[in-house]
Amino acid sequence: MVSSRVRTGLIATLSAFALLVSPDARAQIPNVGNCFLIPPYGGKNVIIMPGSTSLIPVVQFLGAKLAQMTNPYLLVYFPMASCDAMNRLNGTNYLGGTGQFYTADPNDPTKIVTQSCSIDGAAPIDLAVGDTFYETCGSGNRFASLGDFQGPEQAFVFITPRSFQYTTYITDKEARVVFGCGAKGQVAPYLDDNFINSYSSAVGVQFGAQLITGKAINLSVFDGANGNPSRAHLSDQDEANDVARSTTPGQTIGFISAEVYDQMRDQLKALAFRGIGQSAAYYPDSDSNSRDKRNVRDGHYTNQAPMHMWVALNPDGSIVRPLASKLINWMQGNPVAAGDQIPFDINDVYAQAGVVPKCAMKVSRSLDGGPFSPYVSEKMPCGCYFESKATGKAVPPNCVQCTDSSGCNKGQICSYNFCELAW
């Protein structure tokens, strides 16, 4: 576990996964027409889901897997600000316009093809996904009909261009001044608002990456990018692209979800972060080149939050939309009927996308930015299994393979073929 403050330069490393999102974004995504007329779906098993731009990699990997099933599902995603997605369920519960869907490339199944389709009029929303607890969105009293189910844990990272090696960490105080005051804060080397990247501050638009990061640095109003509106972005991917392309890398900074960052490690560098009250700076992972998310899993990395799945509920507390109920069970790893089982492990999807399944977590929070509490998974623990899939190491450090619990130490069980601490 890395526990000392990071001071040295980094060595560029290529991403282990292909970049999923076109650098020039949605304008180049081909539209295939009506979402409900796409073969072989033809209106059957079409999931309508608005959600956070931070979560696009998770949705892409999952959507491609669902589309490959014998009984395929078409996940149509409408990327937007996290709280905007939630409020769609607090309001009309219907959505129209152009969404994205994801399939495996027929010529290379390791790659994902992103296409778009259209909804004429409006269709019922099955569920919405985002980065924040309801209260963080400041949307007043929660509708009794709004259900909130948690998914995997996300991290959010401060980023600079990969080519700039000098700065390797940032503290909560430095980040608060940079993004709260912009160039006026005089925090070197971030002395020009043209290179301080944030998110749109338009009324009613609340991006989860900004809200969660604000909690981590104790900042409620982000003024940095307002010095130059072109630096106030409408998605994590747009911000990642602008940071990566900067012609002045030494003064450039931004922040995005770790899952978007993980797809662009060959172009971006994550800064280690020293959170409020901490004496050391940490990466989300055990070091700058790993993908193990160890410091997220044990709470050393504080800029993190669980994914939320919001749904409409019936008066008896049951979920209104059957497809929403099915997707939540899949994403939480819950038991399902024999005919509804998925032919893949959802934890593999999370490891590939750069988020952490609950079964691999050791801490949890009950509100954004709040204190961590010890977490005991309701499912079989999967820390070593997750790490093996995320890093590509058959046996991660400090992990022991097993076939049954007799091969494990006292207090451990054999779970996912690794010795893990028992509940």
Interatomic CA distance for residues 285 and 131, integer angstroms? 20
Q: Which amino acid, residue 240?
A: A
* 86's tokens: 């939630």
Amino acid occupying residue 404? D
Please answer whether residues 86 and 139 qualify as being in contact, where contact means their C-beta atoms are separated by less than 8 angstroms: yes
CA atoms within 13 A on the CB side of 77: 28
Of 145, 158, 251, the residue nearest 209 (C-alpha): 158
Task: Give the whole-angstrom CA distance, residue 30 versus residue 114.
Answer: 8
Show the domains of the chain with their CATH numbers: 25-151+305-364 (3.40.190.10), 153-302 (3.40.190.10)
One digit per residue, the tens of pLDDT, for the chain of length 423 reads 333 333 332 222 222 233 344 334 445 789 999 999 999 988 889 999 999 999 999 999 999 999 999 999 999 999 999 999 998 887 778 999 999 999 999 888 788 999 999 999 999 999 999 999 999 987 677 778 899 999 999 999 999 999 988 899 999 999 999 999 988 999 999 999 889 998 887 656 789 999 999 999 999 888 755 555 557 888 999 999 999 999 999 999 999 999 999 999 999 999 999 999 999 999 999 999 999 999 999 999 999 999 999 999 999 999 999 999 999 999 999 999 988 999 999 999 999 999 999 999 999 999 999 999 999 888 999 999 999 999 999 999 999 999 999 999 999 999 999 999 987
The residue assigned the tokens 């259900």 is 147
Q: Helices 208-217 & 172-181, crossing angle to 10 degrees? A: 130
DSSP assignments along 148-200, one per residue: EEEEEEEEEEEEEETT--S--EEEHHHHHHHHHHGGGG-BTTB--GGGB-EE-
